[in-house]
Amino acid sequence: MLYKTLYTGEKIPVIGQGTWGLGGGMSPDYSNDQLAIEAIRSAIELGYTLIDTAEMYGGGHTEELVGAVIRDFKREDLIITSKVWHITMNYRDTLKAIEGSLKRLGTDYLDLYLIHRPNHDIPLEETFRALNELVDQGKVRHLGVSNFDLKQMQRAQALCNTPLVTNQVPYNLHQRVYATNGVLEYCQANQILLTAYSPIERGYLVKDATVGRIAEKCGATPAQIALHWLIRQPNVIALPMSTRAEHQRENLGALDLDLSDEDLEALDHIELSEEALW
């Protein structure tokens, strides 16, 4: 595994395992629990030590599934991320939310705790009053945000007693809003990770003609090309989600690619989508 470095000197894997869709969408779905557990377990066994989830995923059930797996591994070897949902961001609800996440995950602390989405109806000061307390109490090691634009991220950074470690956003070859709106540049200038979710654009990128041509030329898969384009950038890591061990193993192959300047130039100029995913 390759790593990027936090402000503390700690290492974060450049590829983690996303869990959106495992255990349901925004409400629980128990019908594929065994598949989800096997997916999370195989990812960790393959070397994915960064596991990303959220209280919103599966209405909390996804956290339960992650918790059912990570209890069989050394907790200190894993980096567990969860997120407080944007409708539960006042002071008291934030403190209550993390207790629910910790219980479902079966852990005493989170390595990263993020604000899932901005909420303009709740003062950010109130949210960070709770988040800063959670860091002081040792229930959270590092704080971050998700789906924040540049001004929102700068405001969050000003309210955070410890440096923000990440902004988790939709970013891939087709979706570059957070590169053009200043977020990526700001992250790179301030030692903040940009964590790219939907890095393969929910599978659509594997059908892109340019990606396919370069993949064939390099003896790689389109998914590997899409991931490599992301993780080669300073301060960028990616969170693909796969339920199949062979695809998880395949994604790790992105670490070993060495694309030519010509191929990278072609990827840089792929036709973009107009809107972000969120």
To the query of whether residue 204 is one of the catalytic residues in this protein, the response is no
Q: In sequence order, which residues have a C-beta less than 8 Å from that of residue 158 and are 6 or more positions away?
A: none
Residue 94 is which amino acid?
Answer: T
Amino acid present at 177: V
Which candidate in 7, 30, 48, 57 is catalytic? 57
3-state DSSP call for residue 166? strand
Q: Buried b / exposed e across 120-153, counting CB within 10 Å, b at 16+? A: eebebebbbbbbbebbeeebbbbbbbbbbbbebb
Write down the residue that tokens 């991320």 correspond to.
Answer: 81
Measured distance CA(252)–CA(54) in Å, rounded: 23
Tell me if residue 13 falls in helix, strand or coil.
strand
Q: Provide φ and ψ at 126, rounded to 5°.
A: -65, -40
Q: Tell me the catalytic residues.
A: 57
